[in-house]
Structure 1
Amino acid sequence: MCLFHFLAVIVTTFAQDEGSFVEKCTKPRLTPAAILDVIMANYSRSLPGNPVGVQVEVTVQDVMELSVLSNSFTADIWFSSIWYDPRLAYSHLDNCRQNLSFDDRFEKLIWSPNVCIVNTKSAHVHRSPKPNVLLMLLPNGTIWLNYRIRVQSPCSMDLARFPIDTQYCQLVFESYSYNTASVSVNWMANPVTVLPEISLADFDLSRYRTSRHTEVYKAGEWYRLTVEFEFTRKYGFYILQLYVPTYISLFISWIAFCIDTKALPARIVLGVNSLMSLTFQFGNIIRSLPPVSYVKAIDLWMCTCVGFIFASLLELAFVAYQDKKLILKSGKSNAAISTLVSYLKHFEPYHDVSSPPPPAPLDEKKSMSRTTSTGTNRSRSELDGLDTKDLEEEIAEYRKLAYARKKWRLLDFGANVDRISFIVFPLTFAAFNVVYWTYYLQDVRISTWT
């Protein structure tokens, strides 16, 4: 572990500086309790210097969760503070003992810079079963204080590129009790260590950066150390669970362009089912996101796909409306022709046929049936009736032919519209895909990571 490696370096350096004493060392001369009694006899919990230099180091053990709903991440870390207090030096008492280790109770007996994480939503020291706190005292008076804690700290969530987004989370360290006049807090040479086995289900911890600046409060100025972690989302889940199903729904809606225009129910079912499945998929994804007011990448994608499916339904409605217009025009034409025929029947030579004279008495009918003139009038009336019947049949035949002609013209028009739509819709969607994926797959971290 990096912390123990650092400690070994400190011990080795001290041993090199005190090499003459180490060579003369045979065995420890005092027990730890005796050394502690001597150095703590006249010890005071006041500042050991002005200002005291404090170095900070962080080792990330694990990252359990990064929540977009709470705008925070939860992690287990080892957090170390190192400073120098010459009043605790014991090399003059025992040059053979390289360090003294204590638990958290000894910390309460000595001065400490009280370096803490000031931006946490929650933090607690692990107990397994006792508090995971290590305080190590080196012979020259250097103190190394280490905590193993679980922290929940805020993140700067920006979901504008979701699900192809990058999120940033921060840990901010300060000496809570001492300002810049008393304590100078700074990072160690190797400030942050991330264990390689860290793995999250939906994010990768891609990189981190550290910074130091002076924070101004009403009580004065404090040194602030910030470590910022960059988390890149793994969007493979969303490709399989969102993008691929939307592609399939969209392609299914385009199958309607290949179905005959007379099969309107089948085409309507395809379009409506695709629209409903797309809405259901979007609802499942959006439930796991906070209600932000700006447009996200997933919003743009889903709205565009819904727009394409809705446009295919509009194309179907347009073709169906043209068919309805033909039926309405045909009905009006039939009514006009029927009115014209009824009107013509009131004129010669159709008046006698269409409006027969009132019936005569029975005796007159018998006498008239024997006359030659009556037979001639009947033959003439039958001829007129045949002429009227032929005219109506010709008009009906003409109406049928005109309707059939318009119907075939409409079917041909609908087929042409479907053929054009079958080409235009995929080409337009392909152009949208090129623009969408080119924009959102580009690496924008350089512009935000300074």
Structure 2
Amino acid sequence: MLRESILEEMLSTYDKRFPPHYNDIIPVKVKVQMYVLSVFEIDASEMTFSISMFLRQEWVDRRLQFETKDNLSKIEVDNEITKEIWLPDLAFKSDTYTYFHELTRPNTLMIIYPNGKVVYSLRVTGKFTCYMDLTKFPFDEQHCPVELESYGFTNSIISFRWSQPAVVYREGVKHSQFELGEPQSYTCDQIYSTGNYSSIGVTLPFIRRYEFYLIQIYAPSVLIIMLSWVSFWLNVDAIPARISLGILTVLTISTNGNMSVSMAQRVSYIRAIDIWNSVCLILVFCAVVEYAYVCVSVRVHQRRKSDISSSDIEICNQHKEMKHELQSEKQSERSYDQLETVTARTVDKISRVLFPCVFFIFNCVYWLYYMT
């Protein structure tokens, strides 16, 4: 009965149409805090993220002061009574869709203290806009803002400020693809044609977990690159083996790159994973070109040798006296044949060292740049 009598007495003369201090110069100071329940649907394709939270507000309304009796330190107000009390017109600026939970009843809470302090909390789930920069994908870190402001009152009537801490994560809140960083709160009062409005914001850092990409994209790429180097150790005459190996590695690295592209939003700029895939494809392609160069060099020499041998036989039949000179030419030809084979093997030996060194240098530059 004590609570009922106090509420009836307060609300008998209370007018919710006007905010506290409406006729005073001092604005109503409203402290805001977000208690985040879950973070989900961080979508790079739509540039949005969704969170569910308890949105807490706290202010002082002197019209709700009451005397403490029988150790009554606070009054918890039902949702129906909440409708009879003035509430701040807090609005989200960057949301695309927001709804208030009403199962099984509207999820709201209000507590009134003897000095007129009002604590108001409601459960909100919303989808917010976040313009993401994927230049360093999958090593990117997104900073997504959530901004709130008064929609109908200027800062001479209502002043919003963050409680400290501004954002509190519920224990155990995690995301499958991102780590939740330390939020950074700020004030961002806005000036419109109708006046100056109190506005506050908080930046939520989302740090992408890249372990999945290391296992599914980077590690297979390294193995495929190393597999392409096997051709440098095969004999020059092993044409089917080297060609099959080259085609296999090119197709595999292309498939691996296409899979990585499908894992994120297609953008018009170059990402870290695009650089990796491009360099890996170039290295595998160069390994194929290297063998093509070696193979063509040997075959051109063999055709020349065949042509010279045929002409030598005709000359030998027509001119017996030139037999000694032809033998000298054949010896010279055999020396040239050996030289060509040695040259081809030398190219393979150089490639055995050159390709791993180039790939090692690229890895040093790549990982130092994107991981520091």
2:223 to 231, 245, 248: 248
State the distance in 2 between where 1:270 and 1:62 align.
Answer: 49
Determine if the alignment matches structure 1 residue 32 to structure 2 residue 3.
yes
Q: Which residue of 1 aligns with 2:171?
A: 196
Deviation at 1:31, TM superposition (A): 3.2
Secondary structure of 1:317's aligned partner:
helix
Deviation at 1:422, TM superposition (A): 0.3
Deviation at 1:183, TM superposition (A): 0.5
Task: Give CA deviations for 1:279-325 in whole Å, capped at 9, x if unaligned.
Answer: 11111121121121111111111111111111111111110110122
State the distance in 2 between where 1:334 and 1:218 align.
Answer: 95
- TM-score, with length taken from structure 1: 0.76
Q: Which residue of 2 aligns with 1:380?
A: none
* 1:348-363 → structure 2 map (5 Å cutoff): none
Amino acid at match of 1:416: T
Secondary structure of 1:40's aligned partner:
helix
Deviation at 1:338, TM superposition (A): 5.7
State the distance in 2 between where 1:323 and 1:103 align.
Answer: 91
Q: Which residue of 1 aligns with 2:137?
A: 162
Q: Which residue of 1 aligns with 2:368?
A: 438
Q: Which region of structure 1 is more displaced relative to structure 2, 184-193 or 397-406?
A: 397-406
Q: Which residue of 2 aligns with 1:357?
A: none
Q: Which region of structure 1 is more displaced relative to structure 2, 190-199 or 234-243?
A: 190-199
State the distance in 1 between where 2:132 and 2:292 align.
Answer: 43
Deviation at 1:102, TM superposition (A): 2.5
Task: Give the structure with higher Rg (CA).
Answer: 1
State the distance in 2 between where 1:288 and 1:106 align.
Answer: 50
Determine if the alignment matches structure 1 residue 118 to structure 2 residue 93.
yes
State the distance in 2 between where 1:103 and 1:404 align.
Answer: 104
Q: Which residue of 2 aligns with 1:41?
A: 12
Deviation at 1:95, TM superposition (A): 6.1
Q: Which region of structure 1 is more displaced relative to structure 2, 207-216 or 242-251?
A: 207-216
Deviation at 1:117, TM superposition (A): 2.0
1:410 to 334, 340, 343: 340
* 1:46-195 → structure 2 map (5 Å cutoff): 46-49=18-21, 50=24, 51-91=27-67, 94=69, 96-195=71-170
Root-mean-square deviation (Å): 2.3
Distance 1:65 1:103, change over 3 A: farther
Question: Unaligned regions of 5+ residues in structure 1, if any?
Answer: 1-29, 346-386, 443-450
Deviation at 1:250, TM superposition (A): 0.2
Secondary structure of 1:284's aligned partner:
helix
Distance 1:46 1:95, change over 3 A: farther
- Whether the aligned pair in 1 keeps the contact of 2:55 and 2:124 (CA below 8 Å) is yes
Deviation at 1:253, TM superposition (A): 0.1
State the distance in 1 between where 2:202 and 2:145 align.
Answer: 6
Secondary structure of 2:267's aligned partner:
coil
Task: Give CA deviations for 1:59-104 in whole Å, capped at 9, x if unaligned.
Answer: 1122123221221221111111111111122227x46322222344
- Whether the aligned pair in 2 keeps the contact of 1:65 and 1:200 (CA below 8 Å) is no
- Whether the aligned pair in 1 keeps the contact of 2:39 and 2:50 (CA below 8 Å) is yes
- Whether the aligned pair in 1 keeps the contact of 2:35 and 2:169 (CA below 8 Å) is yes
Q: Which residue of 2 aligns with 1:260?
A: 235
* 1:7-26 → structure 2 map (5 Å cutoff): none
Count of matched residue pairs: 367
Deviation at 1:405, TM superposition (A): 3.7
- Whether the aligned pair in 2 keeps the contact of 1:166 and 1:231 (CA below 8 Å) is yes
Secondary structure of 1:272's aligned partner:
helix
Amino acid at match of 2:6: I
